Amino acid sequence: MREFRYERAPDVAGAVALLAGAPEGAFLGGGTNLVDLMKLGVATPDVLVDVRELVSREITELPDGGLRIGAGVPNADLAADRRVRERFPVLAQALLAGASGQLRNRATTGGNLLQRTRCGYFTDVTKPCNKRSPGSGCGALEGVHRNHAILGQTIAGSAGPATCVATHPSDMAVAMVALDAVVRVLGPDGERSLPLAGLHRLPGDDPSRDTTLRHGELITAIDLPALGMPSRYRKVRDRASFAFALVSIAAALRVEDGVVRDVRLALGGVAHRPWRATAAEYVLRGLPATEASFAAAAESELEEATPLRDNGFKVPMARNLVVRTLLDLSEALR
């Protein structure tokens, strides 16, 4: 591990100022991902600014019935919060589907959003990876990629400088994208807010950048607007617990007189970012809440899928997951 200076600040503004003066520095939240990446030599900050005790650990009410979640709230506390369990079950289920009890106790809400891909070529410094070492190529494209992306990847050959087929690993973020969450950020230039759907990037021509945050910007809170409809998270993985998603889904559905009035869908494990299924949502609104409609919606979303040699199974898996989850939600509404 590279040597680093450990810094604390009196408040979040001080922490932001400290990092602004450290171009190779990083914020430290729970450290469950960052410390691991530092041990592997994948992350090499020279300064760590510890913000775990600085950012809010409170969950507060918003005027519309939504919630503001401080970026320092541990994943375990967020999943256990009664308001989250009652109003946003999709979020509690997503959190509980992720990691282990030990990790959820330490990991923070802000840090969860910024965790990095678990692609084996990214975490192995002896392998090529455009995300870790821009321009070095992509080992996954023609290598082991059963867990990799089927939507929104950049594929220009394994030596292509922009090729990246990695997936975003967070379950929590998939639920939050479906919930139209808003991220509140403090940076060297002050505060700003952005939709969570605009936080994570597709690889495009620079896979090394996971997010649209600038250096020194700190996530301080996440706002969840009121939802007002039933919601559910479902995750398919290789073992029953403590494994990343092959495919996951966050869904919310409102049906009136047998017709879909509102729907929110996001997929995990399929792309470089949590994948909001806007095409499927568009198709579904106004259609009868039937299996045929749900299948048509899923097909429209997955038309653009470009699976790799060994992960084609994710396409029918995602389609079946959309259909099954929406059927369950519509049956629960009856």
Q: Phi, psi (5° rounding) for residue 20?
A: -60, -30
By CB under 8 A, tell whether 182 contacts other proteins: no
Nearest to 318 by CA among 238, 245, 242, 232: 245
User: Taking CB under 8 A as the criterion, which residues in 301-320 touch other proteins?
Assistant: none
By CB under 8 A, tell whether 93 contacts other proteins: yes
- Rounded Cα distance, 164 and 137, in Å: 8
By CB under 8 A, tell whether 57 contacts other proteins: no
Q: Which is nearer to other proteins, 126 or 241 (CB)?
A: 241
By CB under 8 A, tell whether 3 contacts other proteins: yes
Q: Which is nearer to other proteins, 11 or 86 (CB)?
A: 86
Out of 63, 82, 126, 334, the residue judged to bind other proteins by CB under 8 A: 82
Nearest to 221 by CA among 55, 51, 87: 55
Interacting span for other proteins (CB under 8 A) from 55-63, 221-229, 239-247, 318-326: 239-247
By CB under 8 A, tell whether 86 contacts other proteins: yes
Report which secondary-structure segment, H or E, holds 49: strand 47-50
Please write down the HEC assignment for all residues of 197-261. Answer: HHCECCCCCCCCCCECCCCCCEEEEEEECCCCCCEEEEEECCCCCCCCCCEEEEEEEEEECCEEE
Which alpha helices (DSSP H) does the chain contain, by range? Answer: 12-20, 34-40, 75-80, 82-87, 89-97, 101-106, 109-114, 172-178, 278-284, 291-302, 314-333
Q: Which is nearer to other proteins, 79 or 164 (CB)?
A: 79
CB of 126 to other proteins, least distance (A): 17
User: Taking CB under 8 A as the criterion, which residues in 139-178 touch other proteins?
Assistant: none
Interacting span for other proteins (CB under 8 A) from 101-109, 136-144, 159-167, 185-193: 101-109
Out of 52, 127, 200, 272, the residue judged to bind other proteins by CB under 8 A: 52
Give contact residues for other proteins (rule: CB under 8 A): 1, 3-6, 28, 31-32, 35-36, 38-39, 48, 50, 52-53, 76, 79-80, 82, 85-86, 89, 92-93, 96-97, 99-103, 105-106, 240-242
